[in-house]
A and B are shown apart, each in its own frame.
Chain A
C-alpha cells in the first residue's frame, strides 16, 4: 500500500466525488438511452471519451497546488482570453455561433467553457488579496472586469447561453467579497432597466423564446413547440417513469435536443419523479459537500474558488432543470455532468478537480 492510497480517502471528500461520479454515470446512461438506435448512436462512445478526459484533467488538477494556480491566475486568464479573441475571427460556425475550435478526430472545443475556470481563478485571487469585510470599489470593479471582458467576447460569437453561465461568477464574487447593500439595490434597479431595454436588442429568435416562455400554449406548434413537448415529456413520466429507453417523447423525436439541453426532460420521462428527485438530490449533495469543502478550506482564496465553482455549477444545473420544465426561458445552457458535450464535461470535471484539490490541501501542513 502506497502512502497515497492511505491518505487519499481521508483527504479527498468522498461525498463530493460520489455526487460528481453518479451524476456523470446518469448522464452517460441518458445519452445512451436517448441516442441508441438513432443516427446519433455514436454519441455515447464520444461521451465516454469526454468523461475519461475530464477525469484525467481532474486528477491532474488535484495533484497541482491550487495556490500556484491562484498566483498565476492573471497570466492564465489573459492567455485564455486570447482563445476568445481568436474565435470571432477564425472560429468554426456551428448553429449560427462562432464558438468552436475544430480539433482533429472530429472533436471541437468551446473555449468559453474553459475561460470560465480561469475567470473563477482570477476572481478568487482578487478576493484573496482584499480580505476586508466589505468590498472596496477597486476590487469590485476588478471583479466586474474579470467577468465582463470574457462575457463581452462570448456575446460577440454570439452565444448568450454560455455568457449567462458567467453571471453567477460575478454575483457570487461580489457577494462573498462583501458588496454593500446599497450597491445590490442599485444593481437590482439597473438590472431591471437593462432587462427591460434589452428586449429591443434581442434577436427575433431570442424574443420568440421569451414570448413562448411567457405563453407556451400560444404557439403550441411553432416556437413554443420545444417547451411544450419538454413539459409533456416530463409530466408523462409520472412517478416512476416509462423505463430506460422507453421514453416515447424522446425516442420518437418529439423532444428537441434530447441528449444535450433537454436531456433532463428525457430523464424525467424515463425515470419519473423518482429519477428527478435522485438527480436533484445528487446536485444537493454536490452543493452541500462543496460548501463543506469551502468552509474547511485552508485559505480564503481556496474557499472562494470552491464557492465560485460550486455555485456556478449548481446555478447552471437549476437553470437548466427549470428551463426544461418551462419555468425559465430556453437558453443554450447545458446540464453539468449530464448533457452530452465535450467542452462542458471536460470543464465541469476540471472544476470538480480544483475543488478536490482545495479539499486535499485543507490541512496547512501538507
Chain B
C-alpha cells in the first residue's frame, strides 16, 4: 500500500509543508500563551479570585433585634411591634417590568406612575439590586402577591417588624417616634447604629434608644446572582431590647387627653416625693404611627402647616409667663425674709408704683398672706415684691428650679427665663426698670416658665421636707429573657430650705384657694379631698379695661393656669394644667386638675364603668341561653 504513494505529488508540496510548519509554530506559541494566562489566574492569583467568589456568593446581613415594648406602670402596652410586609422587585428577573408594575398596581391600588417613580427614585441602574416597591402591605395583599409567585418570580416579600402605637396619639409627645438614622446620628452613636436603621427620634424612644434597641444579630447566607437567598450558612440570633416600664398611669393619661380634645395646652401629674410622672399631655397631639413608615408628603404637610404645631411638646418646650401661680413662690420669699404671714395690706383695686398705676383684678379690702393667695390679690404681691426686690425674687426662682432644665428623661426641654438686672444688662443691653419688679411679683414681665418646671417647683411646697424631685418617666426596664429588672436610680436630691411655719402658711393659703369659699378655684373643690392649688391667668394682649373689650377672638384670650396638689396633709399627687387661650385659670384649667387628683386618690371611675357595662352585657346575653333550656 505504502509503495503506491505518488512521491512526485509530494515534491511540489514543499512550500505548502513549510507553511504548515510555520502555522504550527505560531499555534503552539498561542497555546503556551493561553496556558500561561490561565496559570496566572488559577495558580498564582487563585486564592485572591477564590475569595472574590466567596464574597460573591456569601452575604451577611444584620438582623435587627425586636425592639423592646413600652408599657405603663401597670403593664398596659403603649408601644409594640407588629409584622410588616415589604415588596421587593428584582428587575432582572422580570420579563417586562411594566407588566410587573401593572400587577402590583392591580393588587395594592397604588398608581402606576407612583410605582414607576419609586423605581426611578431608587436611583440605581444596577438592575440586580432589589427596589422596595411597597411597604406595609396588608396580609391580604402579601398573600395575593405570593399566590402569583410562579408567574412573577421577580417579587420577594420581606417580613420585618414595625413599631405600632396602639393608642394612636396617646402620650405621643412622651413616647416620641422612630425614624431612619441620619448620618449625624450614625456618627454620634459610633458604630452602634447603621445608616438607615430605624432608631428613636424623639421622646423616650430616643432617650432610651440603647435600652430598647437590643443587640443586632447577623445572618450569613448563600445568594445567587439575583441576590436571592439559596441557603443559610450561619445565624447569630439578635438579643431583644428591654421592656421599658414607664411611670405613666394610662388611666390618668386618658382622662387628661380626653379633656384636651379641642383644647391647646399641656398637663402633667406627678408624685411629688419620687418625681414619677403619672400623666404627661401636650395637645394637640399627632399620631406617631405616621412615622413608623416613610411619612407621606400630605401627612407631613398637614402636621407642619397645623398652626397649633402638634409636634411641639408644650409641657417642656413651650415657656410662658406663670401668672398668679407664681404667687405661691413669692409667698415663700416673703415668709423667708422675716415678713409675717399675718401682716395686712390694703388692696384698693391696685396701687401706683414709680408713677404708674398697677391694677388688681378685683377690689379686695385688706389682706394677709393666706387671704392674698386665696383671692389672688395682686396689690398685696405688688407691695411685697417691691419690698423684696428683684434679686430676692430671682434667687427664690432659682431655689425652686426655674430657669434651668428639670432633668426629665423625655427629650429636650427649655430652661425658661428668670430675669434679673444682670441678665437685663447682658442680654437686653439696658438697665432693669424698677417697674418690672412689680410685674414679676405677680408672675408677669419677662419671667418665663414651662408647665413642667411649675409642677416640679410645686412639689417642693407639697413635700414636707421641701425636696425638689427630678421628674422622670422611667420606672424600670426588664430584660425580656432573664426577667432581670433595672430600677430607676434617682439623682442627688435637691432641697428647698424652709424656716419653721413657712411651708404650713403657704399650704394654708393654697388650701383656701380650692377648698374654702371665696378661693379662686373653690368651684372645683371636692369634699374630703383637701386639694390645694393656685390658679393663674395670663394676659395675651394688654387689656386696659376688660369690661369694655367685650368678647375677644380665641387666639387673643388669656392663657389659663392651674397648679395644685392633694391631699393637703400628705400630698401624693401634683397636677399642673395649662390651657392656651383658655380664659380664666379657675374655669379652664382647674376642673381637669381636680378630676385628675380625684381619679388618682379615689380610684378610677371609668374602670368601674367598663366593669359595669361588661356585666350588663353578660346579663343581656344570659336570657337566650336560658330560653333554650326552656
Interface contact A303-B224, CB-CB below 8 Å: no
Kindly provide the distance from the CB of B91 to the nearest chain A CB, expressed in whole angstroms: 14
Assess whether B160 is interfacial by the CB under 8 Å rule.
no
Interface contact B16-A254, CB-CB below 8 Å: no
Assess whether B56 is interfacial by the CB under 8 Å rule.
yes
Assess whether A131 is interfacial by the CB under 8 Å rule.
yes
CA distance A247 to B48 in the complex (A): 16
Interface contact B56-A232, CB-CB below 8 Å: yes
Interface residues as binary, A175-203 with B (CB distance below 8 Å gives 1, 0 otherwise):
11010000000000000000000000000
12 A/B residue pairs, CB under 8 Å, sorted by A: A175-B23, A235-B41, A236-B52, A237-B46, A238-B49, A249-B56, A252-B222, A254-B53, A280-B31, A287-B31, A363-B4, A364-B6
Kindly provide the distance from the CB of A282 to the nearest chain B CB, expressed in whole angstroms: 11
Assess whether A155 is interfacial by the CB under 8 Å rule.
no
Interface contact A248-B53, CB-CB below 8 Å: yes
CA distance A284 to B12 in the complex (A): 28
Kindly provide the distance from the CB of B396 to the nearest chain A CB, expressed in whole angstroms: 69
By beta carbon, the residue of chain B nearest A228 is B52
Give residues 224-245 of A contacting B (CB, 8 Å).
229, 231-239
Contact (A325, B27) CB under 8 Å given A178-B15, A235-B46: no
Interface residues as binary, B42-83 with A (CB distance below 8 Å gives 1, 0 otherwise):
110111111011101100000000000000000000000000
Interface contact B23-A300, CB-CB below 8 Å: no
Interface contact B37-A300, CB-CB below 8 Å: no
Interface residues as binary, A287-330 with B (CB distance below 8 Å gives 1, 0 otherwise):
11001001100111001100100010010001001100101000
CA distance A355 to B13 in the complex (A): 18
Interface contact B24-A325, CB-CB below 8 Å: no
Assess whether B614 is interfacial by the CB under 8 Å rule.
no
- Which among B23, B38, B52 has the greatest number of chain A C-beta atoms within 10 A? B38
Interface contact B37-A327, CB-CB below 8 Å: yes
Chain A residues lying within 8 Å of B15, measured Cβ to Cβ, are 133, 178
Interface contact A363-B5, CB-CB below 8 Å: yes
By beta carbon, the residue of chain B nearest A134 is B15
Interface contact A238-B20, CB-CB below 8 Å: no
Interface residues as binary, A246-274 with B (CB distance below 8 Å gives 1, 0 otherwise):
00110011100000000000001100110
Interface contact A248-B16, CB-CB below 8 Å: no
- 4 additional A-B residue pairs with CB within 8 Å, beyond A175-B19, A235-B48: A235-B41, A248-B56, A303-B16, A318-B30
CA distance A224 to B146 in the complex (A): 34
CA distance A291 to B13 in the complex (A): 14
By beta carbon, the residue of chain B nearest A365 is B4
Chain B residues lying within 8 Å of A20, measured Cβ to Cβ, are none
Assess whether A100 is interfacial by the CB under 8 Å rule.
no
By beta carbon, the residue of chain B nearest A11 is B1
Assess whether B226 is interfacial by the CB under 8 Å rule.
yes
CA distance A286 to B54 in the complex (A): 36
CA distance A254 to B222 in the complex (A): 12
Number of interface residues of B (CB under 8 A): 47
Smallest CB-CB A-B distances: 7 pairs: A235-B49, A238-B46, A236-B53, A253-B225, A273-B42, A252-B224, A236-B50
Interface contact B4-A254, CB-CB below 8 Å: no
Contact of A234 among B12, B28, B38, B226 (CB under 8 A): B38
CA distance A280 to B23 in the complex (A): 17
Interface contact A276-B35, CB-CB below 8 Å: yes
Interface contact A253-B226, CB-CB below 8 Å: yes
Assess whether B425 is interfacial by the CB under 8 Å rule.
no
Chain B residues lying within 8 Å of A363, measured Cβ to Cβ, are 1-2, 4-5
Interface contact A176-B42, CB-CB below 8 Å: no
By beta carbon, the residue of chain A nearest B4 is A365
Interface contact A322-B34, CB-CB below 8 Å: yes
Chain A residues lying within 8 Å of B42, measured Cβ to Cβ, are 234-235, 237-239, 268, 272-273, 276
Interface contact B20-A284, CB-CB below 8 Å: no
CA distance A307 to B24 in the complex (A): 10
Interface contact A249-B53, CB-CB below 8 Å: yes
Chain A residues lying within 8 Å of B52, measured Cβ to Cβ, are 232, 235-236
Assess whether A172 is interfacial by the CB under 8 Å rule.
yes
Kindly provide the distance from the CB of B52 to the nearest chain A CB, expressed in whole angstroms: 5
Assess whether A340 is interfacial by the CB under 8 Å rule.
no
Interface residues as binary, B583-617 with A (CB distance below 8 Å gives 1, 0 otherwise):
00000000000000000000000000000000000
Interface contact A238-B224, CB-CB below 8 Å: no
- Which among A234, A235, A295, A363 has the greatest number of chain B C-beta atoms within 10 A? A235
Kindly provide the distance from the CB of A301 to the nearest chain B CB, expressed in whole angstroms: 11
Interface contact B17-A322, CB-CB below 8 Å: no
Interface contact A287-B49, CB-CB below 8 Å: no
Chain B residues lying within 8 Å of A276, measured Cβ to Cβ, are 35, 38, 42
Contact of A295 among B6, B17, B56, B230 (CB under 8 A): B17
Contact of A277 among B13, B35, B126, B222 (CB under 8 A): B35
Interface contact A300-B34, CB-CB below 8 Å: no
Assess whether B524 is interfacial by the CB under 8 Å rule.
no
